[in-house]
Amino acid sequence: MSELRLFQASSGGANEIAPRLADTEACVQRLVEANMQALLGVTFLASEYSTGPVHAGRIDSLGLDANGAPVVVEYKRGLDAGVINQGLFYLSWLVDHRSEFEHLVRGQLGGMAAAQVLWSGPRLICVAGDYTRYDLHAVREHRRSIDLVRYRFFGADLIGLESLATASGLPESGGVKRRSRGDRSERAGRQRIAELAAAIDEVLLGLGDGITKVQRKQYSAYRLLQNFASVCPPQHTKVHVYLSLDPAQVDLVPGFTRNVTGVGHHGTGDLEIRLRSEKDLERAQDLFRASYAAA
């Protein structure tokens, strides 16, 4: 965040708005909890959640991300070398108390959400004023899914968030399975669509640093802090990709792009893209980049 400078510009000139830390840790926590979906892509569930008399702790915030993964959020006003270890301590408790968390989800979001919690990818998100270089290295080496987010306040009502480091903590997903039977043309079709799906994966992961791929049964999600793309398993002739873009801001092309706002579908995002060929993938790349930039 030290490289970022914010100015209020007008015809009379430009005045720099100096960045500042919050007055207290609670100020950061209250703001993020009130806007967690917009800021982190996480549905807020609970604040200062007690871990019981034996563990004797309180988790700053609990949430559920767009892929159904449990999320622990820990806050620090400034630089605190213990924030990752503290968060991992609570994340370990959460994984050991799955039924308690699912009960919380059921009460807030319903039984379907509770039944689909993604326990293979629990996440820790740390929001702090800064981190040490040892923190950044530890995230890359750790087996858990961890995001380090640096914040700054600007003026009275502006906040900036910067994702400094991320680690998925998830195993690589397997390749596309192929059936052994079928005539030559069917095998060729399956081969072509499998290669297209692999090319889509390569393009999405190649958009920038810090992209995490999360595998769910019905789709693969690509995220920074929030999902920017979801890819469904390939069908016979096409692959469906859903982007986190406002369809009203896109020139929709029948048969290629579609507004699925309010329409049930796997994955996240309101803009559907149907890809049938490498040419379609080339056409879609500007939309991929726009969704990534907005994440």
Residue 179 confidence class, pLDDT cut points 50, 70, 90: very low
Is pLDDT of 4 > 80? no
Cα gap 195→191, rounded to integer Å: 6
> So what's the pLDDT on residue 82?
87
Average pLDDT of the chain? 90
Cα-based distances in Å from 63 to 67, 73, 276:
12, 8, 36
The pLDDT of residue 170 is 56
Is 3.40.1350.10 the CATH number for 6-167? yes
Question: How far is the C-alpha of 181 from the C-alpha of 191, rounded, in Å?
Answer: 13
pLDDT digits (tens, 9 = 90+) for 240-279: 999 999 999 999 999 999 999 999 888 999 999 999 999 9
* Total-model pTM: 0.75
**pLDDT tens-digit profile of 7-44?**
988 888 899 999 999 999 999 999 999 999 999 999 99
pLDDT for the residue 184: 65
Structure tokens at 126: 């740390």
Q: Quick one: pLDDT band at residue 295, thresholds 50, 70, 90? A: confident
Residue whose C-alpha is closest to residue 201's, from 275, 265, 271: 275
- Tokens 């005045």 belong to which residue? 15
Give residue 213's pLDDT band: very low, low, confident or very high (50, 70, 90). very high
**pLDDT given at position 5:** 82
Between helices 278-294 and 184-205, what is the axis angle to 10°?
Answer: 30
Measured CA to CA, the distance from residue 202 to residue 114 in angstroms comes to: 32
Give the model's pLDDT for residue 142.
80
